[in-house]
Amino acid sequence: MTTTNTIQNMIALAARHGLRIDPGSIRWNESGMDFLVAFGTDENGAAWVLRQPRRDDVWERADNERKVLSFLRGRLPAQVPDWRVCTPELIAYPLLDGDPMGTVDPEGGGYLWKFDQASLPEAFFDSLADTLAHLHGVDPAAAGEAGVRVKSPDEARRAFADNIQEIQGSFDIPAKLLTRWMTWLADDTYWPEHATFNHGDLHPPHILVDEAARVTGLIDWTEAEIADPGKDFVIYYALFGEDGLRDVLARYERRGGKVWPRMREHIAEQWAAYPALVAKFALTTGKASDMEMARGMIAQFGAE
């Protein structure tokens, strides 16, 4: 929960950088795992997003995000944040156009959707596919030269294998689930031979849309890197299933996105291995609640 001291501290930090936020305009979003986020207006009535890192490791990764945003600005059909303040204590940027496609439901843990998930207009799927095709079409070499983190296809695969090995020391992985993970990792036919520029954490709160459900912006690029092209479709698969994934990949390919024969199956296996990423995050934060969340997800996926 935010406190008066938290609000005053954030406003004081903003003022230190010449950004005078009206205290009465502050609205909070505490659902993010990496940042405490506030929205407020300045003395000229302009809307801002204010982000405070929750942990020291977040700032270390934020430096990669800064390079990502600087490189991507103007290269996509969707907006990306323009960081005007970037320090270990505060990140601030003008509020982008549009609203989140969904927000995290604090009661149920799912999403509160801006539009009915079961009857989304074609504009959403087309614009999302177009945005991802543009993003994944960015030249990896140029991004790497700009300082964006780069993993070759083999490096991305090894990183996942290393992650699974690491979490086994702290979590009890059901044998069936572990076998599935290892089978996927060992089978070359699942895996892509190319890497793409990925957002890395593409779920509804990070996708901004207008009143026609067209994608207008993508936010929270903390996990962005050049790596496995399937990663940006994993949460989509979890939300829209096999048929939804097949549809959006067809739209993506029509707009220039590069696919391979087992891409859909690879994405499904990435979702099956998602608990390993949650477990790795829990080890990073060390929070009991995160560890419990990871154990619950491992148990759930292991029982399927």
Query: What's the one-letter identity of residue 246?
Result: R
Asked if 39 and 49 count as a contact pair (C-beta separation under 8 A), the reply is: yes
Q: Where are the alpha helices (DSSP H) in 73-187?
A: 122-136, 140-145, 153-167, 175-186
Q: Using CA atoms, how far apart are residues 236 and 172, in angstroms rounded to an integer?
A: 27
In 3D space, the residue among 61, 88, 69, 33 whose CA is nearest the CA of residue 222 turns out to be 61
Take residue 223 and report the two structure tokens written for it: 């996990």
Radius of gyration over alpha carbons of the chain, in Å? 20
Helix, strand and coil percent figures for the chain, each rounded to 5: 50, 15, 35
Take residue 53 and report the two structure tokens written for it: 């890192």
Take residue 125 and report the two structure tokens written for it: 């799927």
Q: CA-CA distances (angstroms) from residue 99 to 30, 88, 113?
A: 17, 27, 10
Location of structure tokens 């391979």 = 260
Does the annotation mark 201 as catalytic?
yes
Coil, helix or strand at residue 162:
helix
Q: Which of 201, 220, 228, 232 is catalytic?
A: 201
Residues designated as active site = 201
